[in-house]
Structure 1
Amino acid sequence: MPIEYQGAKIPTCYATCSIGHKESHTLPLKLKAIADAGFDAVELSMPDILAYGKMLHGAEPDPTDYDALVDISKAIRVQAQEHGLKILMLQPFANFEGWPRGSKERKDAFERAEGWMRVMQAVGTDMLQVGSSDAPAIAEVSFDDLAADLAELADLCAAKGLRIAYENWCWATRAPDWKDVWRIVQKADRPNLGLCLDTFQSGGGEWADPTTESGLVEGVSRDELEARWRKSLDELSRTVPPEKIYLLQISDAYKMEPPLEAKTDDTGLRPRGQWSHDYRPLPYDGGYLPVQDFLKAVLGTGFRSWLSIEVFDGKAPEKAPDMLAFSRKAMSSLERLLQT
């Protein structure tokens, strides 16, 4: 249910990838727990679609078998409707932008996009999350080229009545900060292209660092770090129109003790990406990021739309093995954030 805030009703959402830790925690049970805790919508993750396909048919479908994914998505749409849940967004669409024209990577990116749009229509959502690419190969690509790719995708989406929420991933190659994705969105200049902001991606990129003893960005004094952070938040509140923010994802982060090594892992994932995967609890549950600061900055734009819980807490099975209890705890954290 929406949360009252300064005379507005702010709708609430929960990412399906952020709940459940057993094979028995199926998508229908996730949806029930999320709905029973009072949430209005879900972000639907592609891994959950694949897992539901396995539940229905005994084998996980090929991620590129879009005919099968469409059928599975239609069944998920019915499940969501039975629980009174809107499917706000399909996620996470990754490593789309920045590939050279004529490359097999670019061809694959647009083929995936066409397939995912079919899935979106089948499941009944109009919004696709695109995360800023972490492909090393795009290190020298200009923002103009990234914007051109997003504009082309936005035009394809617009023809189907769909829109894109572009998110900065703090380990991305070219656009790790909110200011980066906002510049790209402005350059692309499409009415159906907006922002997915995230308390972890901004706090964990501009203010915190999982590879340092302090847990903070180092190389500057603490006073200078705080001044830079406040300046960034003020700029966000002053310069981003609220209608261009499609949703704000909410999570915190654990301080890494010992710190992560400052290198990529065996899969090529950078430290902040490793941090993101397993060390993102709910607010007020052991983290240390300035979540409240970022939320206030976003609300300062006039934004009164979707707040979505997206957490990846490796300690969750010990803390709250029951999905309903965890969902209710998530709702309580949103209410507390808005009341503070």
Structure 2
Amino acid sequence: MPNRLGIASMSLGQPGIHDLPSKLEQASRHGYEGMELFFDDLDHLAKLRFNGDHVAAAYHISQLCNSLHISIICLQPFWHYEGLLDRTEHARLLSAKLPKWFELARILGTDLIQIPSNFLPADPQTGKPRTTGDKSVIVSDLREIADLGLQQSPPFRFVYEALAWGNHINTWEDSWEIIERVNRPNFGICLDTFNIAGRVYADPSSPTGKAPNADADLQASLTRLRSRVDLSKVFYIQIVDGERLSAPLDESHPFYVKGQPARMNWSRNARLFAFEEDRGGYLPVLDVARAFFDLGFEGWVSLELFSRTLADPDPSTPHNHAKRGLESWKKLVSALQLDTGVPASVHSSHNPVPSSLPVQHRL
């Protein structure tokens, strides 16, 4: 299977400001074949056009995707799930939320649901934690949801991703240990250049933007990745960069949000597409991405970017981000000589984007 270009729906414009149909149209015009669908985008469309009916919105998006030749890579994020101390909430997520997501995912034509590692903050009233770091509980919770996925017809897969600011699981090594212990065929990993480098290499709260021993620690981590990760468990990968901030992300920084980890605030405001050094990109994205492909990975390569620029109300925002992502992808393909099922000459000379900005989709 050749490598296929995808992008997250959130990465083309903020929900509520830029509508999902317009983002799908821009993705198609720029040559993207797949999209990670964020529930927030579907929810916004449902409220705007279908009286809050998510099923009706999902059917609409499914039809639009078919006409635009775009596949839904996954539905995400099924978050704040594993390791909850509130077992009543745990049960609610499995009995009420999950069946709905199964239905929506079926309509959207995907068998994949993404689970980010839990970053639920402490209880605002008591200050007490709401998640446990007990890995046996985390494994049990994830095994339970995987088994429910296997019971569906056809079965569902789940992809687990360690966020760089996760409460207890925040490195790929942590998430891989959990995946091995869950030990289910439908439970795999998402490898992300930002979350890997953003934890081991970068520290946005530091004046240097880097963690102590950043280079050596990252290389050691990538060596472990090449030797430990089972390729069959890598369900898709994400490739983006991060912006080197001009000042440490502390209480005086405009990105600072009280009670939220610095890496989380950095991620939500300052991701970049790979090879955008002119915009401040500084993570060793190519080194991390090369490790993914050294495993033999072939499949969905998604550009999952979060940035303050996505809130720009200019109607050209989805177009601009789609174009930036495509240019990043072309450079990645060239740098790593990736197999995309398309001759290299096409990547270097053909531009599927029309010269004029297309008319926005009207709801």
CA contact (8 A) 2:84 2:131 kept: no
C-alpha distance in 1, partners of 2:307/2:61?
25
- Counterpart selection for 2:30 from 29, 37, 58: 37
Following superposition, the deviation at residue 139 of structure 1 comes to: 5.6
Please list, as runs of the form range in 1=range in 2, the aligned pairs for 1:262-301 lying within 5 A after superposition.
268-285=259-276, 286=279, 287-301=281-295
Matched with 2:43 is 50
- Counterpart selection for 1:179 from 173, 179, 194: 173
CA contact (8 A) 1:144 1:184 kept: no
Q: TM-score, normalised by structure 1?
A: 0.87
Q: 1:132 and 2:132 equivalent?
A: no
Please list, as runs of the form range in 1=range in 2, the aligned pairs for 1:1-340 lying within 5 A after superposition.
9-21=2-14, 25-57=18-50, 61=52, 68-100=53-85, 103-110=87-94, 111-135=96-120, 136=122, 137=129, 140-160=132-152, 161-218=155-212, 224-261=213-250, 268-285=259-276, 286=279, 287-315=281-309, 317=312, 321-340=316-335
SS of residue matched to 2:242: coil
Following superposition, the deviation at residue 265 of structure 1 comes to: 6.0
Tell me the number of residue pairs that the alignment of Structure 1 and Structure 2 aligns.
Answer: 319
CA RMSD of aligned residues (A): 2.3
C-alpha distance in 2, partners of 1:247/1:16?
16
C-alpha distance in 1, partners of 2:239/2:197?
11
Give the partner amino acid of 2:245. M
Q: Deviations over 1:43-99 (max 9, x none)?
A: 111010011112313x5x3xxxxxx22222111111111111111100111110002
**Residues 45, 129 of structure 1: alpha-carbon distance in 2 compared, 3 angstrom cutoff:** same
Following superposition, the deviation at residue 13 of structure 1 comes to: 0.6
Structure 1: 5+ residue runs without aligned partners?
1-7, 62-67, 219-223
Following superposition, the deviation at residue 319 of structure 1 comes to: 11
Q: Deviations over 1:148-184 (max 9, x none)?
A: 1111101111122110010001100110000000000
Give the partner amino acid of 1:75. H
Following superposition, the deviation at residue 326 of structure 1 comes to: 2.7
Following superposition, the deviation at residue 315 of structure 1 comes to: 3.4
Following superposition, the deviation at residue 312 of structure 1 comes to: 1.4
**Residues 116, 265 of structure 1: alpha-carbon distance in 2 compared, 3 angstrom cutoff:** farther
**Residues 315, 329 of structure 1: alpha-carbon distance in 2 compared, 3 angstrom cutoff:** same
C-alpha distance in 2, partners of 1:44/1:249?
14
Following superposition, the deviation at residue 262 of structure 1 comes to: 7.0
Percent sequence identity over aligned pairs: 28
**Residues 239, 20 of structure 1: alpha-carbon distance in 2 compared, 3 angstrom cutoff:** same
CA contact (8 A) 2:202 2:214 kept: no
Q: Which has the higher mean CA deviation after the structures are superposed, 279-288 or 178-187?
A: 279-288
C-alpha distance in 2, partners of 1:81/1:44?
15
Give the partner amino acid of 1:94. W
**Residues 315, 39 of structure 1: alpha-carbon distance in 2 compared, 3 angstrom cutoff:** same
C-alpha distance in 2, partners of 1:194/1:255?
31
Q: Which has the higher mean CA deviation after the structures are superposed, 129-138 or 256-265?
A: 256-265
Give the partner amino acid of 1:181. S
Give the partner amino acid of 2:263. R
Give the partner amino acid of 2:332. L
SS of residue matched to 1:25: coil
Following superposition, the deviation at residue 22 of structure 1 comes to: 8.1
Q: Which has the higher mean CA deviation after the structures are superposed, 26-35 or 175-184?
A: 26-35
Give the partner amino acid of 1:44. L
Give the partner amino acid of 2:249. L
CA contact (8 A) 2:34 2:72 kept: yes
Higher relative contact order, structure no. (Cα contacts within 8 Å, ≥ 6 residues apart): 2
Matched with 1:64 is none
